[in-house]
Amino acid sequence: MTTADDGGAAALVNVAIDGPVAEIGLDNAPLNLMTRPMLRALNAAIGEIRARDDIRCVILHGGNARAFCAGSDVREFDALRTGASEHKILVEDMMLRNLSRLPMPSIAAIDAPALGGGLELALACDLRVLRRGVSIGLPESRIGGLAGSGSLRLTRLIGPSRAKEMLFTGETISSEQALAWGVVNRVVDGPALDGARALAATIVSRAPMSHRLAKQLVDSAFDVPLDAGLSMANAAQQKIFDGSDLHEGVAAFLAKRPPAFTGR
């Protein structure tokens, strides 16, 4: 396993590479608050990983902090009164968009509460693994705030009625409720990071080109008309047949051996 840490603002985020899996660890204890330096450091880490063809899965976790991420540092808000868009809102939006647009699958490993912007961070990942007994929520309305991107991503994930309940009440939900509502994919009894690593191991054993194209299609499903989406699916299928992974997979299946996918 190799690690990357450039010091300064980047010290707020640690990146570890273990073969085809990259782990991004938040390191702003005790609560991993989403400060402006944290936003910049996280966006830089995402950009570095995005450019690497050898990475097949990304895990985002909260390290040893008391929270996966407890959201924004409200102590910054007064200074942002007249420049929130320039100095925070658009910076955070860019980071979350870049996270959601990683070409490879991403997993949020939630071992401690994910609140407000912390849950929005997890929602920008493709999958979420939650430790049993850990609560999550969007409590912004309690202090007069708003979960901007979270309102949209949560609604697409679990539907408007349940999303509105979480947003309007500002209450946290239990791990069991989060699983039942579909906010998270898995609830595990041990560390969520271990659960995420096990899930990542399964993901990276499959064909990476298939994953990247499937992610593009799923993410486009809400944004384009069905006919346009089906045309995109046809083009993606052609890329699969033009590449080598499908033919390697078929050969391995017939030979009863593990496939050696290259992502090409």
Residue 4 to residue 16: CA distance in whole angstroms: 6
The closest alpha carbon to 122, from 73, 178, 171, belongs to 178
140 is catalytic: yes
- List the catalytic residue out of 86, 92, 140, 176: 140
**Which residue in this structure is represented by tokens 């609604």?**
155
Give yes or no for a contact between 110 and 133, defined as CB atoms under 8 angstroms apart. no
Residue 219 to residue 206: CA distance in whole angstroms: 20
- Sheet containing strand 13-18, edge to edge, reads 2-4, 13-18, 21-26, 57-61, 106-110, 127-131, 186-188
The closest alpha carbon to 249, from 264, 232, 234, 233, belongs to 264
120 is catalytic: yes
- List the catalytic residue out of 23, 76, 120, 171: 120
Residues serving a catalytic function are: 120, 140
